[in-house]
Structure 1
Amino acid sequence: MGQGAYLLFGALILAPVAVFAVQASGRRETDATATGARLPFLFRAAKYAGAVLGSLVGGLLRVRRRHVEDSLSRSGLDPQQAGAMYRRLGRGVFELLWLSLPGKRALRDVVLIDPELLPWLDSPRGLVVATAHTGNWDLTACAAASLLSARERRLTVVTKHFSHGWLDRTWQGLRRKYGVDLISAGSVWGEARRSLPRGNVVAMMIDQAPERSRGSAPGRFMGQPCVLDLGPCLVAGRLGVPLIAVFAARDADGRQVLRLAGCASPPKPGEPLRAWAEATAQTLNDWLEVQVRRDPADWLWMHRRWKPLPGAAPQRRMQRAVSDGSAEISA
């Protein structure tokens, strides 16, 4: 159970929380933050509703709590950070429920874009973005899609699906409402070839363990061996488009900030694509590790990031795929 579980619980208690928040605010839509910026009141109220939800799921029900604490400990971090992670994840669910209310929200009020990121969004060759489950990644994706739409460009996100049909339709529909184009992992290469030459953006997650040996390689993350997903690197390298790492984070006022973590250097002349992709994938994960260590509670520790590839001899199969060149793009 991941964020889908939070949505299930959040949906049950959204109505009374929303009513209480509106009554407490005197039916005001916005309230001032410490910096003077005005944020929607219900957006800020998500902090308190999310704390209750996070305590329920992470404390009382202990959904993957042992896994989260063990992962923090193995990474050399305080396992007590688990509680804050569950509260922030609960907060993010209520922010998405606020986002799903009738009409469209003005996301520029709740999501800030790193000025260094803006020139990359205008790349005429298109752009591949490596990102991760930090901050409120779905909210920031909606904000990025809205920004790109104003530039007459599109954001395509590689996504997975919830097992609950109605929940999956709600989640996917929310992102489409704000202009996010969604594709499955098997459609990455075809969509990239169509979309990137038009100057569009393709975003892919790098912080989940790949399910297949193709398009993957051994690496390290948070000081532990892991399997790296080469998908973003192979797409960018084969099509000759820029590759950057962008991660969301929450600032002191509760807003989300999309930050440029780094820009990957293109392959050198004559450099094998596979070797470049493996080295670059490790660099992307190193950049992510810097952010996770800076604010451990802001990353989704519930994923089994360090699990091996399926099967009895995953490393042997993976190395064989590398040596015979059969590796394909896999998101």
Structure 2
Amino acid sequence: MTTSEGRGLSPWLQDRLFRGVLGALLLLPYSWRVPLCGWLMSRLVAPLAGYRRRVRENLAKVLPDLPEAEVRRLERAVPDNVGRTLIEIYSGAEFVARCTASAPTGPGLAALDAAHAAGRPVILVTGHFGNYDASRAALIARGYNIGALYRPMSNPFFNDHYVRAISRIGTPLFARGRRGMAEMVKFLRGGGMLGLLMDQWMQTGARLQFFGQDALTALSAADLALKYDALVVPTYGVRRADGLTFDIVVEAPIEHGDPAVMTQAMNDSLERLTRAHPEQWFWIHRRWKDIPEWWQDPLA
């Protein structure tokens, strides 16, 4: 946990508090716990953690003409989606059942089937949108061998049960770091499909555009694709109006070429979807940090 209400508490105590809330929510029926966790995140946690302020600041930076009423709606709706996503990830088989209630759709499905049949590596790129694990769950159910790269949590007590939770959705999982990267590359070279989140600020990334603003973005997905001849396919779990189920969207593969051009196409894909469903992207991220003076463009 990194919210302000946890500051000053030991990592162990932060985790105990989180586990208590989580355990109480998991006692409720799925159709109750998901909206309730969204409400708690939006109405209680977000104001304390500064999430509403960050949503407003990010919107002012990239969408300055957005009507005030829409800004206020997103201040509440974005944390609600974050809360729903959190409890869904901990709901295991119940969450997977919602993700697989409808078949995936989109122009990239045929390419995924062909790559799977041929044993060709695939990189499934997505962002912190809707529920970013929904597409992984749905495509695993389709018979694909999908691994995922994740960033370990700073709180080791929280990280332990978080990894167990995402493992129930599917494995293998690869932790960021030297060992995890080596295992990930071996998996990819063996014809696996790898899920990557591509929408966080990376100080070693390239200066690309997201919503018309500079956003340092990792080129890793494109670099891996070019090195191992992997297909790059954007996939998303778009939350439906009922708040509980998803449309699993598989976009057309991104054409191989210059790594920056490929990665910009990934940013553009996520931006299009976010413009259509702005409440589903994690506007609480610091996506547009100031670029430090010492920064060096990896493309220079």
Same fold (TM over 0.5): yes
- 1:256 paired residue number: 246
RMSD: 2.8
Select 2:124's aligned residue among 126, 129, 146. Answer: 129
- 1:284 paired residue number: 266
**Pair 1:86 & 2:79 matched:** yes
**Partner Cα distance (1:15, 1:283) in 2:** 40
Deviation at 1:262, TM superposition (A): 3.5
Select 1:182's aligned residue among 173, 176, 179. Answer: 173
The answer to whether the 8 A contact 1:227-1:308 is kept is no
**Partner Cα distance (1:95, 1:7) in 2:** 18
SS of the residue 1:209 aligns to: coil
Select 2:194's aligned residue among 188, 202, 223. Answer: 202
- 2:224 paired residue number: 235
Deviations 1:100-153 (A, max 9, x none): xxxx447244444423354344312120111110112234434433x26xx3x5
Give ranges in structure 2 of 5+ residues lacking alignment: 7-13
SS of the residue 1:226 aligns to: strand
Deviation at 1:184, TM superposition (A): 3.1
- 2:20 paired residue number: 12
Give ranges in structure 1 of 5+ residues lacking alignment: 22-40, 268-275, 324-331
Q: TM-score, normalised by structure 2?
A: 0.81
Q: Which has the higher contact order (CA 8 A, sep 6+)?
A: 2
Which amino acid is the alignment partner of residue 39 of structure 2?
A
Select 1:69's aligned residue among 53, 56, 61. Answer: 56
**Partner Cα distance (1:229, 1:9) in 2:** 34
SS of the residue 1:220 aligns to: strand
The answer to whether the 8 A contact 1:244-1:261 is kept is yes
Which amino acid is the alignment partner of residue 294 of structure 2?
A
**Partner Cα distance (2:16, 2:131) in 1:** 17
Deviation at 1:290, TM superposition (A): 0.6
**Pair 1:294 & 2:285 matched:** no
Select 1:55's aligned residue among 35, 39, 43. Answer: 43
**Partner Cα distance (1:66, 1:105) in 2:** 33
**Partner Cα distance (1:134, 1:260) in 2:** 14
Deviations 1:133-188 (A, max 9, x none): 0112234434433x26xx3x532211111111121011111122332222233447
The answer to whether the 8 A contact 1:142-1:175 is kept is no
Structure 2 counterparts to residues 82-161 of structure 1, below 5 A = 82-99=75-92, 104-105=93-94, 107-111=96-100, 112-116=102-106, 117-122=108-113, 123=115, 124-145=119-140, 147=141, 151=143, 153-161=144-152
- 1:312 paired residue number: 293
**Partner Cα distance (2:227, 2:24) in 1:** 51
Q: Identify if the C-alpha distance between structure 1 residues 182 and 308 changes in structure 2 by more than 3 Å, giving closer, same or farther.
A: farther
- 1:327 paired residue number: none
The answer to whether the 8 A contact 1:120-1:127 is kept is no
Which amino acid is the alignment partner of residue 50 of structure 1?
G
Deviation at 1:192, TM superposition (A): 4.9
- 1:266 paired residue number: 256
Percent of aligned pairs with the same amino acid: 21
Point out the more displaced range, 252-261 or 114-123. Answer: 114-123
* Number of equivalenced pairs: 278
The answer to whether the 8 A contact 1:2-1:302 is kept is no
SS of the residue 1:129 aligns to: strand
Point out the more displaced range, 300-309 or 83-92. Answer: 300-309
The answer to whether the 8 A contact 2:147-2:174 is kept is yes
Which amino acid is the alignment partner of residue 235 of structure 1?
L
Q: Identify if the C-alpha distance between structure 1 residues 235 and 155 changes in structure 2 by more than 3 Å, giving closer, same or farther.
A: same
Deviation at 1:245, TM superposition (A): 0.9
Q: Identify if the C-alpha distance between structure 1 residues 291 and 44 changes in structure 2 by more than 3 Å, giving closer, same or farther.
A: farther
